[in-house]
Amino acid sequence: MKFYDVVIIGAGLAGLQCARLLSGGGAKILLVDRKTDLSKSVHTTGIFVRKTLEDFDFPPGTLGKAVRRVTLYSPKLKSLNLTSENDEFRVGKMGKIYQAFLRDCLANGAEFSNSTRYIGIENNQSSTIVKLDRNGAAFEVETKVLVGADGANSRVAKDLRLDENKEWIVGYEEVFHPVNSNDEPRLHCFLDAELAPGYLAWIADDGEEIHIGVGGYAAGFNPREALKIFKEKISGKILSLKTAKLAETRGGQIPVGGVLRKIASENGLLIGDAAGAVSPLTAGGLDPCLRLSAMAAQVILERLKTDEPKVLLNYSGELFRARFVSRLWMRRIIAAVSNQKLLELGFGFLRGGIGRKFAKHVFFGRGSFPDVELKIKAKRNSLDTSLLKNGS
Ligand SMILES: Cc1cc2nc3c(=O)[nH]c(=O)nc-3n(C[C@H](O)[C@H](O)[C@H](O)COP(=O)(O)OP(=O)(O)OC[C@H]3O[C@@H](n4cnc5c(N)ncnc54)[C@H](O)[C@@H]3O)c2cc1C
């Protein structure tokens, strides 16, 4: 049986980020994904916010044009235009990002097993046996640390007896390639309690790709049907897709209950959606994938260096939860608004002076997941996680 310092289940952004940092730090890594080709079946729109773009390098050619303009719409399509003096968003070409991150991992000596399904674990005293299946052929590997980067419905979380996501919204979108686009890159966000109950419908149009989608609480919400009606609602008024070509559809669950509390045991830990590391308000999970995985990698390297499994317990969701209290409350309020008239009224408030400031803060605030990487780096050997509380 092959032995690895760390086995990572899931090669989405969280798993890849963790794998490239750990392999760069000298750990022997096996990265596993059930997908055959990471650039296929992408399930995210891929919008990166300003702070992520400032703090992390992306490989050349993997980001769309900068977006500075946002238009917010009421259910009756009244609009509110917001413009920032900064480049606020870019839509990532996610397939290319995943492939570039994977190349980094392989260059660092990490092994990647594609078309491989995680089946389960058996715990030994000081290690874990991980059961895998590659195209119908079962095999096992042994590891000191098992990382669950297997998304919102994490099987690893269950097997490690860690916390599991309980609150989700569902997102579904179509991606078009425009033939000609002279429009300024713009993010359009639509409040609509029927077509996007508890979240938003959106058009992200950066001139290179047009993403049209809906998101909402699953109960009583049929995303495909809602998207069809949404496209009819906006067609000709806000956007014409006559010259655009449908390239792909994307969709999936987005956990919005906040970072889970228990995200580590002595045998392993969770990152990304598996850890519930998504902003409960905006449902943005890409920035947390990069930051939380960096923190996880730091803790794992310390565990490997000291050969002390308890080091993993430093990695706790409690460090972050207090930072998300206000966003969780706002999520509860949004979830409770199921009436179009109330949304129309709320939109009226947003068009006023204070409301506009609030909207600008939500869309253009330099928020991110707590900035853990640099702080830990400064105290590399002491793992003083209390420093995290000062993160931005
Ligand atoms: C429609 C939609 C739009 C979104 N848009 C944005 C956005 O614009 N900006 C933003 O910040 N966030 C967005 N999000 C959220 C963001 O996409 C996620 O938070 C992020 O992609 C999570 O990454 P991850 O690596 O944790 O999980 P995932 O990307 O889900 O990766 C998990 C990986 O694990 C693999 N896997 C799962 N189970 C197994 C198994 N048993 N065996 C082997 N492999 C397995 C899967 O194949 C997958 O590759 C969106 C989400 C959705 C659904």
| Pocket-testing residue among 7, 42, 43, 168, ligand 1, by greatest number of atoms within 8 A of Cβ | 43
Q: Ligand 1 centroid vs 2 CA: distance in angstroms? A: 28
pLDDT of residue 239: 84
CA 122 – CA 151 distance, rounded (Å) = 21
Read off the pLDDT of residues 150-172 as tens digits, 9 standing for 90 and up.
999 999 999 999 999 999 999 99
CA 30 – CA 162 distance, rounded (Å) = 21
> Measured from the CB, is residue 281 less than 6 Å from ligand 1?
no
Ligand 1 atom index nearest CA of 13: 25
Read off the pLDDT of residues 8-36 as tens digits, 9 standing for 90 and up.
999 999 999 999 999 999 999 999 999 99
pLDDT of residue 388: 39
What letters, b where the CB count within 10 A reaches 16 and e where it falls short, cover 69-90? bbbbbbbeeeebebebeeebbb
Q: Ligand 1 centroid vs 151 CA: distance in angstroms? A: 5
CA 120 – CA 154 distance, rounded (Å) = 11
List of the chain residues with pLDDT < 70: 181-182, 370-392
Phi and psi angles of residue 189, each rounded to the nearest 5 degrees, phi first: -125, 135
> Measured from the CB, is residue 250 less than 6 Å from ligand 1?
yes
> Measured from the CB, is residue 203 less than 6 Å from ligand 1?
no
pLDDT of residue 65: 95
Residue 190's nearest CA partner among 303, 107, 76, 276 is 76
Which two structure tokens, joined as six digits, stand for 297? 């990698």
| Pocket-testing residue among 7, 33, 250, ligand 1, by greatest number of atoms within 8 A of Cβ | 33
Q: What share of the chain is helix, strand, coil (3-state, %, to 5)?
A: 35, 25, 40
Phi and psi angles of residue 122, each rounded to the nearest 5 degrees, phi first: -130, 130
Scan for tokens 């930072």, then name that residue.
Answer: 323
> Measured from the CB, is residue 154 less than 6 Å from ligand 1?
no
Per the CB < 8 A criterion, the answer to whether 212 and 173 are in contact is: yes
> Measured from the CB, is residue 42 less than 6 Å from ligand 1?
no
pLDDT of residue 371: 62
Cross-strand pairs, 269? 147, 264
CA 276 – CA 168 distance, rounded (Å) = 10
Residue 253, CA atoms < 13 Å, CB-side half-sphere: 18
Per the CB < 8 A criterion, the answer to whether 10 and 151 are in contact is: yes
| Pocket-testing residue among 89, 254, 269, 369, ligand 1, by greatest number of atoms within 8 A of Cβ | 254
Write the CB contacts of 238 (distance below 8 Å, at least 6 apart in sequence).
73, 77, 188, 203
Per the CB < 8 A criterion, the answer to whether 342 and 195 are in contact is: no
Per the CB < 8 A criterion, the answer to whether 150 and 270 are in contact is: no
Residue 275 identity:
A
Which two structure tokens, joined as six digits, stand for 269? 């830990």
Query: DSSP H helical segments within the chain, as ranges?
Result: 13-24, 50-55, 94-107, 155-159, 223-234, 286-306, 318-321, 325-336, 340-351, 353-364, 372-378
> Measured from the CB, is residue 276 less than 6 Å from ligand 1?
no
Scan for tokens 């780096």, then name that residue.
Answer: 377
Which two structure tokens, joined as six digits, stand for 230? 């949404």
Query: Rounded to the nearest 5 degrees, what angle is found at the Cα of 281, between the Cα atoms of 260 and 269?
Result: 20
Beta strand pairing call for 128-134 and 137-148? antiparallel
CA 88 – CA 186 distance, rounded (Å) = 10
Predicted TM-score (pTM) of the model is 0.93
